[in-house]
Amino acid sequence: MKSYLAAAIQMTSLPDLEKNLAQAEDLIELAVRQGAELVGLPENFSFLGDEAAKLAQAEVLGRESEKFLKTMAQRFQVTLLGGGFPVPASGGKVYNTALLVNANGEEIARYKKAHLFDVNLPDGNTYSESQMVLAGTQIPPVHGSAELGNIGLSVCYDVRFPELYRSMTIAGANVLFVPATFTAYTGKDHWQVLLQARAIENTSYVIAPAQTGWHNTRRQSHGHAMIVDPWGVILADAGDKPGVAIAAIEPARLEQVRRQMPSLEHRVFT
């Protein structure tokens, strides 16, 4: 594993595939111009709005999202994560799918979101992801790269389930992706502390691309795409506007933290 720059992209996606992909391309280019070699796009990067409309367009969204990721990764010669897009599944539902693509435009890891966001929030918004999304049943994959480290995938609501990240860490992960569309209501209290917790307890880097702002008249995202180091230090924060959080992933820092705080070696229960 070498030292390199990683980027967590922050978007305000809309119910418009073409506009979203154009925005994503601009932000990928911005990240690459700043030296990023590993780039992550947030959950719902290609479409965010009415869920029924997303389901109706799922086949096109899935096909075009995957094509876009492979094209961008090859064009900009980066490893690229698409943090969540719909892929048709059985029963008229979709999988919320994260896809990791290498610089040759080849798929190297795929994860179907396991924990679905079915929540009634005090601000009056109700989210019922399971109505249209089929939950994945597999532990997220860990992709081993000699240059970029061992990369684990997750999506948004997964961040509240620490056992998911511990399973990836046991499998060797030291760079954890948490692409998200975190609500403004929950994000102000929980987003940062959850990311720091996952980094600290697994002594791993956390890269968290995010959605921000208003996507329609009711749905607002928290923003603050972040990169967090293995000690829980926030290395980069994109704030509340579309943009990019960029920071160095340093193997020496990873080794230092794991040496000074060898909690992974002290586990009693597995």
Among all residues, which ones are annotated catalytic? 43, 113, 156
Q: What is the token pair recorded at 265?
A: 């070696």
Q: Contact 254/230 with Cβ under 8 angstroms?
A: yes
Name the burial class of residue 55, with classes exposed (0-12), middle (13-18) and buried (19+) by CB atoms within 10 angstroms of its CB. middle
Q: Is 145 within 8 Å of 151 (Cβ atoms)?
A: yes
Contact 246, 14 (CB under 8 A): no
Question: Which residue, among 256, 226, 219, has the nearest Cα to 126 in the 3D structure?
Answer: 219
Burial 12-37 (b: 16+ CB within 10 A, else e): bbbbebeebbebbeebbebbbeeebb
